[in-house]
Chains A and B, each alone.
Chain A
Amino acid sequence: MAALRARKTNNEADQPSSPVLRFGPDQPLKLDAGTLLSPFQIAYQTYGTLNDARSNAILVCHALTGDQHIANTNPVTGKPGWWEVLIGPGRIIDTNRFFVICSNVIGGCLGSTGPASTNPATGKPYGLDLPVITIRDMVRAQQMLIDHFGIEKLFCVLGGSMGGMQVLEWASSYPERVFSALPIATGARHSSQNIAFHEVGRQAVMADPDWHGGKYFEHGKRPEKGLAVARMAAHITYLSEAALHRKFGRNLQDRDHLTFGFDADFQIESYLRHQGMTFVDRFDANSYLYMTRSMDYFDIAADHGGRLADAFAGTKTRFCLVSFTSDWLFPTEESRSIVHALNAAGASVSFVEIETDRGHDAFLLDEPELFAAINGFIGSAARARGLAS
């Protein structure tokens, strides 16, 4: 079953089950690494209808291991879309009203060109021959997708975590194309601690003998153990100590006594192992390296002479930032420093910190206060944009 799903992930890389836009040699993607990616493709999903004025489009940017399937059954996992609690008909982001677009990022593994995609020059998967992809590269590609739809200005760009980085990049690089921006649980740069966690994950993948220097597909293998460990470590950073304690405490897993061995005695161990195992079924190990690297390289102030406010100078975009009290991956201070920069740039900005013990992953969950903030922000932006309710 796992092997079957693994093959399915691999197929999704070249022939995704969602719509795909292919760019030929005449439309290369300019990469920050200094090279051109060509040909390349973007896999995407849309929900709702673009209005005649093309003014009701919302772009959703997905996080590290997310994908374009925000509000439909995921073709790999068979699970509901990852943001169905927020987006859909009659939801806070109502697809009866808005045209919602989400694309798999460049470097991903669900249909946009990434390391698992076939390199046309060799007929084999790119592996590490794909140049390192940055957040800005992802956004540059999304911009080409938006051009394809003939959308001049997006009504809103939103996303959490790595998705939030893309939102900030959009607002900074294409301010005239972003009416409102909603970056959630994110930062303007990746902190040293976050780079450190990512490095642990990458080392776990690369230490797996089945990784084969990134050429595992050619060996008919996948570095599942390494990737699972990477996911286990990362998953801890998405939660909080309080939530872990509330959920698992020191509870034992299917047993009454400690076994004095190294089985998963504790529920938390069993839970993490499960998280690791299900992750490798749906995600490509090399893509994990590329995704984590893109976040590590992200530093929007550094792209603007070290002054974050300059990244948003003269912006007319309406911003709303959201952070969570128990998020230690992107603590509130990260959002606050963006808010200060936006203030200095004279931008219109709202900022909400939400009290929760659910950690970084809170942005994916049913958080009433988060939804109330998004609802209020989107509602007032829609009025300002002249979109009837």
Chain B
Amino acid sequence: MSVNGSQRVDLEVVANLIPPQSRVLDVGSGDGSLLELLQDTKQVDGRGLELSQRGVNECVARGLSVIQGDADKDLEFYPDKGFDFVVLSQTLQATRNPKLVLDELLRIGNRAIVSFPNFGHWRVRLSLFVKGRMPVTQDLPYSWYDTPNIHFCTIRDFVNLCEELGATVEKATALDAAGQKIGLSMPWWFWNFFGQQAVFLLKR
């Protein structure tokens, strides 16, 4: 499901977290860009779960191993620790029950990689603060009434959820509006303010 209007700058970051020949499940695999990237550069054993039938059919026609399914409903059918990595990129905010989905990711994968748009970004805050309107940015182009993004969170919110689920953050990266990594030494509040997107590597 493509729920993000911008280029998927997070894909490279996600790909760099995955060692070659890993078993990977990409939840919300969209048009298969990440799976294809991983297959071509890391020779992974990759699978995808995608909500839109069009996306699935395109992926399968490209030789990718993808099924149609819903992250909210269909993760329960996967066995415990069946994958080295389960990736949820730019999809968490569009799920009905993000907590349950994240819990499932941590069950199915030895590690989970989650990327999401940061609702704590200064542009979002500014839009609310100055205009008093729900933010519509280049990165989040939908109006409040037609957005598939029903569960936005900030980086700090996400860190709290990880703690609640007993997940350890092994690595975290925030990307600024230009898709550049924000310095590692910066404190959470800085990331939460200037990070447009975040990528987390989690383990439980």
Q: B63-71, B99-107, B110-118, B155-163: which lies at the A interface? A: B63-71
Min Cβ gap A340→B in Å is: 4
Residues on the B chain within 8 Å of A352, using CB: 53, 56-57, 60, 68
A375: interface (CB < 8 Å) = yes
Determine which of A348, A353, A376 lies in contact with B53 in the assembled complex, contact meaning CB atoms within 8 Å: A353
Q: Is the CB of B63 within 8 A of A379?
A: yes
B183: interface (CB < 8 Å) = no
B82: interface (CB < 8 Å) = yes
Residues on the A chain within 8 Å of B53, using CB: 352-353, 355
Q: Is the CB of B62 within 8 A of A340?
A: no
Q: Is the CB of A376 within 8 A of B68?
A: no
Residues on the B chain within 8 Å of A377, using CB: 60, 63
B178: interface (CB < 8 Å) = no
Determine which of B63, B65, B78 lies in contact with A344 in the assembled complex, contact meaning CB atoms within 8 Å: B78
A148: interface (CB < 8 Å) = no
Interface set, chain B 67-111, CB cutoff 8 A to A = 67-69, 74, 77-79, 82
Q: Is the CB of A343 within 8 A of B77?
A: yes
A383: interface (CB < 8 Å) = yes
Interface set, chain A 225-259, CB cutoff 8 A to B = none
Q: Is the CB of B47 within 8 A of A349?
A: yes
Residues on the A chain within 8 Å of B78, using CB: 343-344
Q: Is the CB of B47 within 8 A of A348?
A: yes
Q: 5 smallest A-B Cβ distances: which pairs?
A: A380-B63, A351-B67, A376-B61, A372-B61, A340-B77
Q: Which range contains the number of A residues in contact with the other chain?
A: 20 to 34
Interface string of A354-389 (1 = CB under 8 A from B): 110000000000000100110111011001000000
B176: interface (CB < 8 Å) = no
Given A343-B77, A346-B82, A354–B65 Cβ distance below 8 Å?
no
Q: 27 A–B contact pairs at CB < 8 A? A: A340-B74, A340-B77, A341-B77, A343-B74, A348-B45, A349-B47, A349-B65, A349-B67, A350-B60, A350-B64, A350-B66, A351-B67, A351-B68, A352-B53, A352-B56, A352-B68, A353-B53, A376-B60, A376-B61, A376-B62, A376-B63, A376-B64, A379-B63, A380-B63, A380-B64, A380-B65, A383-B63
Interface residues of chain A, those whose CB is within 8 Å of chain B, are: 318, 320, 339-341, 343-346, 348-355, 369, 372-373, 375-377, 379-380, 383
Q: Is the CB of A344 within 8 A of B60?
A: no
Min Cβ gap B170→A in Å is: 24
Determine the residue in chain A with the shortest Cβ distance to B83: A346
Would you call the interface of chain B mostly helix, strand, loop, or mixed?
mixed
Interface set, chain B 14-64, CB cutoff 8 A to A = 45, 47, 53, 56-57, 59-64
Residues on the B chain within 8 Å of A380, using CB: 63-65
Min Cβ gap A184→B in Å is: 13
Determine the residue in chain B with the shortest Cβ distance to A341: B77
Q: Is the CB of A375 within 8 A of B67?
A: no
Min Cβ gap B57→A in Å is: 5
Residues on the A chain within 8 Å of B57, using CB: 352, 354, 369, 372-373
Given A344-B77, A350-B67, A373–B61 Cβ distance below 8 Å?
yes
A349 to B65, CA, bound (A): 6
Determine the residue in chain B with the shortest Cβ distance to A320: B60
Residues on the B chain within 8 Å of A320, using CB: 60
Determine the residue in chain A with the shortest Cβ distance to B63: A380
Q: Is the CB of B77 within 8 A of A318?
A: no
Residues on the B chain within 8 Å of A351, using CB: 56, 60, 66-69
Name 10 extra pairs, CB < 8 A, besides A341-B77, A376-B64: A339-B69, A344-B78, A349-B47, A349-B67, A350-B59, A351-B68, A352-B57, A353-B53, A372-B57, A376-B62
